[in-house]
């Protein structure tokens, strides 16, 4: 559908067996009339990720799956491609398969068992484990195939036992499972089905702006929105001067780079905390942290209108710290009109840490980093309300809108693509 090579295979003008990466994306099949748009988005993202890695392989899509023609690629290249595609939102599982065109299996007028048996036996023999067990899993989507799933599984399993050292069969907990997927475009045979992150293709869920700190929680929240198909831009308020910011070493920049592995094209906007700090003068009230949180939300809303984001994303988890009590979360939300998404709101800390480890941000998040919140009152109030905070804001900030504009007068913009920094500039927003 998306590549000329794949089109030749489907029309039967090229029936030679080949090697393909088979990517399963079952969530897309739930999209009804919009299914084709989601399919095209996933094909586009897969192609982009591979090309960024120097792999210009043909990519095409069909119902519930995408396949990549890897041709005569070396095993190292195939493994590298699989490792990259595991992180592409929208893919639930994937495997490197040998592919047979339907015409090749019925060229003699009846079903040709020999060619399929040879492939299965060869894959089983290569993966033999002494004392291990195996299973054959058949997914016969193409009902035109003249052999039923049960017969396929039984006969191919018998061939493995007869022609290899495998003997024990275990259909529930096998050490090796060889998958046979029969689709209208051909039969795929592969000995390993790897898990991927699932979700929906990036670019299908709208644009959001993630508030990124140097901690553990906010990167996980941004990742979760990428996995739901959102294009995620990132916003950070730096405690240090922007001229001292090193994109290659700064924790927040390294987190943004890792998040773009999943989010593909993304931008990190960094502004200084300095102007708010200078404006926050007077005796301590205990509400300074909430005043800052509301200022941060308003700055994010200001930026969101300029980048076309429809919602903000935070790493808030209910009750985890003082600013995340229900009262303080409500007071922060009331400072802005834009929607605020909190994907971690019901997760406990260990669950968030486990997720951070899985996506590769945890080790960076625990590095020393001076966060703005750490510079504000040590004993913040755990309960606040919008009315009282508005009164304090009126007292302490004579020109609130001007303070926001001043904060964005010098904005550092870093652009990432698939984990790499591709552009850096300072601009006014």
> Residue 16: what pLDDT?
55
Q: Which pLDDT band holds residue 377 (cuts at 50, 70, 90)?
A: low
User: What Rg do the C-alpha atoms of the chain give, in angstroms?
Assistant: 27
256 torsion bin: left (phi>0), alpha (psi -120 to 50), beta (else): alpha
Cβ proximity of 334 and 224 under 8 Å? no
Let me know: does 79 contact 55? Beta carbons within 8 Å: no
The model's pTM is: 0.90
Give the separation between CA 98 and CA 179, rounded to whole angstroms.
11
Compute the distance between CA of residue 318 and CA of residue 296 in angstroms, rounded to an integer: 19
CA distance 320 to 158: 56
pLDDT at 421: 96
The per-residue pLDDT for 285 is 83
Strand partners, 140: 182
Q: Which residue has the tokens 């730096």?
A: 238
| % of the chain at pLDDT higher than 70 | 94
Cβ-contact 36, 91 below 8 angstroms: no
Out of 13-17, 119-123, 310-314, 339-343, which region has the weakest mean confidence (pLDDT)? 13-17
User: For the chain, how many helices (H) and strands (E)?
Assistant: 15, 16
Q: Is 317 helix (H, G, I), strand (E, B) or coil?
A: coil
pLDDT reading at 263 higher than 70: yes
What is the rounded distance in angstroms from the CA atom of residue 86 to the CA atom of residue 98?
Answer: 19
Structure confidence by residue, pLDDT tens digits, 210-224:
999 989 999 999 999
Q: Hey, what domains does the chain have and what are their CATH numbers?
A: 4-195 (3.30.2130.30), 207-427 (3.40.50.620)
Alpha-carbon distances of 157 from 118, 133, 154, 193, rounded to whole Å: 12, 11, 5, 18
Check residue 90 and report its DSSP letter. T
176: β partners: 134
Q: What is d(CA 367, CA 369) in angstroms, rounded to the nearest whole number?
A: 6
Q: How far apart are alpha carbons 18 and 32 in whole angstroms?
A: 31
CB proximity list for 8: less than 8 A, separation 6 or greater: 14
Least confident of 9-13, 74-78, 79-83, 256-260: 9-13
Beta bridge partners of 159: none
3-class secondary-structure state, position 404 = helix
Condensed to tens digits (0 to 9), the pLDDT of residues 69-83 reads 998 889 999 999 999
Please indicate whether residue 409 or residue 13 has the higher confidence score (pLDDT): 409
Of residues 257 and 377, more confidence is placed in: 257
Task: Tell me if residue 217 falls in helix, strand or coil.
Answer: helix
Nearest to 256 by CA among 287, 305, 219, 290: 219
59, 50 contact by CB (below 8 A): yes
Counting residues of the chain whose pLDDT is more than 90, the rounded percentage is 73
pLDDT over threshold 60, residue 13 = no
pLDDT digits (tens, 9 = 90+) for 88-115: 999 999 999 999 998 888 877 778 889 9
DSSP one-letter string for 320-359: SSGGGSHHHHHHHHTT-SSEEE-TTTT--HHHHHHHHHHH
**CA–CA distance, 15 with 143 (Å, rounded to integer):** 20
Question: Is residue 283's pLDDT more than 70?
Answer: no
Q: Who contacts 353 (Cβ-Cβ below 8 Å, separation ≥6)?
A: 216, 362
DSSP for 29-62 reads GGSGGGHHHHHHHHHHHHHHHHHHTT----EEEE
Provide the pLDDT confidence category of residue 323 given band limits of 50, 70 and 90.
confident
Query: What angle (nearest 5°) sits at the alpha carbon of residue 305, between those of residues 303 and 306?
Result: 65
pLDDT in tens, 150-207: 999 999 999 999 999 999 999 999 999 999 999 998 999 999 999 999 999 999 999 9
The whole-number pLDDT of residue 1 equals 35
* Between 42 and 284, the higher pLDDT residue: 42
Q: pLDDT tens digit string along 331-373?
A: 999 999 999 999 999 999 999 999 999 999 999 999 987 776 6
């Amino acid at each position: 559908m998306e590549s000329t090579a794949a089109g030749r295979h489907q029309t039967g003008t090229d029936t030679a067996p080949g090697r393909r990466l088979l990517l399963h994306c079952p969530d897309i099949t739930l999209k009804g009339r919009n299914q084709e748009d989601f399919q095209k988005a996933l094909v586009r993202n897969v192609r982009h990720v591979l090309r960024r890695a120097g792999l210009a392989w043909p990519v095409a899509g069909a119902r519930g799956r995408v396949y990549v023609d890897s041709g005569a690629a070396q095993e190292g290249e195939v493994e590298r491609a699989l490792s990259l595609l595991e992180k592409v939102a929208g893919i639930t599982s994937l495997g490197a398969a040998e592919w047979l065109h339907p015409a090749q299996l019925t060229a003699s007028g009846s079903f040709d068992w020999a060619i399929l048996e040879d492939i299965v036996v060869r894959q089983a023999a290569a993966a033999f484990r002494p004392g291990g067990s195996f299973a054959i899993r058949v997914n016969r989507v193409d009902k035109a195939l003249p052999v039923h799933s049960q017969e396929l599984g039984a006969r191919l399993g018998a061939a493995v036992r007869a022609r290899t050292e495998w003997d024990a069969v275990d259909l529930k907990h096998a050490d090796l499972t060889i998958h046979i997927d029969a689709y209208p475009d051909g039969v795929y045979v592969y000995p390993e089905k790897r898990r991927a992150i699932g979700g929906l293709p990036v670019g299908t869920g709208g644009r959001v702006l993630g508030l990124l700190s140097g901690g553990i929680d906010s990167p996980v929240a941004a990742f979760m929105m990428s996995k739901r198909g959102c294009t995620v831009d990132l916003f950070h308020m730096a405690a240090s001067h922007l001229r001292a910011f090193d994109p290659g070493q700064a924790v927040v920049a390294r987190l943004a780079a890792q998040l773009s592995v999943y989010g593909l094209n993304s931008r990190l906007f960094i502004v200084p905390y300095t102007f708010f700090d200078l404006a926050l003068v007077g005796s301590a009230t205990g509400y300074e942290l909430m005043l800052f949180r509301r200022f941060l939300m308003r700055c994010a809303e200001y930026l969101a209108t300029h980048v076309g984001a429809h919602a903000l994303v935070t790493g808030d988890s209910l009750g985890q710290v003082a600013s995340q009590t229900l009262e303080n979360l409500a007071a922060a939300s009331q400072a802005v009109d834009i929607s605020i998404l909190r994907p971690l709101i019901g997760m406990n800390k260990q669950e968030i840490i486990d997720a951070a480890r899985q996506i590769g941000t945890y080790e960076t998040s625990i590095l020393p980093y001076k966060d703005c919140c750490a510079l504000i009152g040590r004993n913040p109030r755990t309960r606040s309300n919008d009315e009282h905070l508005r009164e304090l804001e009126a007292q302490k900030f004579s020109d609130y809108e001007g303070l926001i504009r001043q904060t964005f007068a010098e904005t550092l913009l870093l652009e990432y693509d698939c984990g790499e920094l591709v552009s850096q500039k300072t601009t006014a927003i």
